[in-house]
């Protein structure tokens, strides 16, 4: 069992739908990262959060440290949001990241 589990693995939705991607982890963490990998392959860091909620544009990330769970939400989804969304957590106090398998999101027009 991976230390970082994401669900769903794949998600296809219509433009405008509200999207939720979940991440559960089994290790103690100081912060959790959400990243986006576009079809071209490059990775972009979206959020790093250690408590509560963060919002950037149409993206919202929440984390519940007690339940070891985080969610990434996308409001008013758009085809350009199509990408792989990955959560990652640091291994202990190190800077090494443990990665989830990613959620492949496709938004249809």
| Binding status of residue 99 toward another protein by CB under 8 A | yes
Give the DSSP H or E segment for 87.
Answer: strand 83-90
19/32 with CB nearer another protein:
32
Among 1, 39, 41, 57, binds another protein (CB under 8 A): 41
- Going by their DSSP bridges, the two strands 103-108 and 10-14 should be labelled as parallel
Taking residues 1 to 20 in sequence order and writing x for each that binds another protein by CB under 8 A, - otherwise, the string is -x-x----------------
Window of 16-24, 37-45, 53-61, 63-71 that interacts with another protein by CB under 8 A: 37-45
Say how many Å lie between the first and final Cα of the chain, rounded.
36
What number of CA atoms fall less than 13 Å from residue 103's CA on the CB side?
Answer: 26
DSSP-derived letter for residue 26 is: -
Binding residues (CB under 8 A) for another protein: these are 2, 4, 30-31, 33, 35, 40-45, 48, 86, 88, 90-91, 94-102
């Amino acid at each position: 069992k991976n230390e970082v589990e994401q669900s769903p693995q794949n998600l296809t939705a219509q433009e405008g739908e509200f999207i939720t991607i979940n991440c559960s982890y089994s290790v103690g963490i100081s912060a959790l990262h959400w990243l986006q990998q576009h079809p071209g392959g490059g990775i972009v860091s979206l959020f790093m959060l250690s408590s509560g909620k963060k919002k950037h544009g149409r993206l919202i990330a929440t984390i519940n440290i007690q339940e070891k769970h985080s969610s990434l939400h996308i409001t008013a989804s758009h085809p350009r949001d199509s990408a792989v969304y990955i959560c990652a957590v640091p291994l202990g106090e190190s800077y090494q990241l443990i990665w989830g398998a990613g959620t492949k999101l496709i938004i249809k027009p």
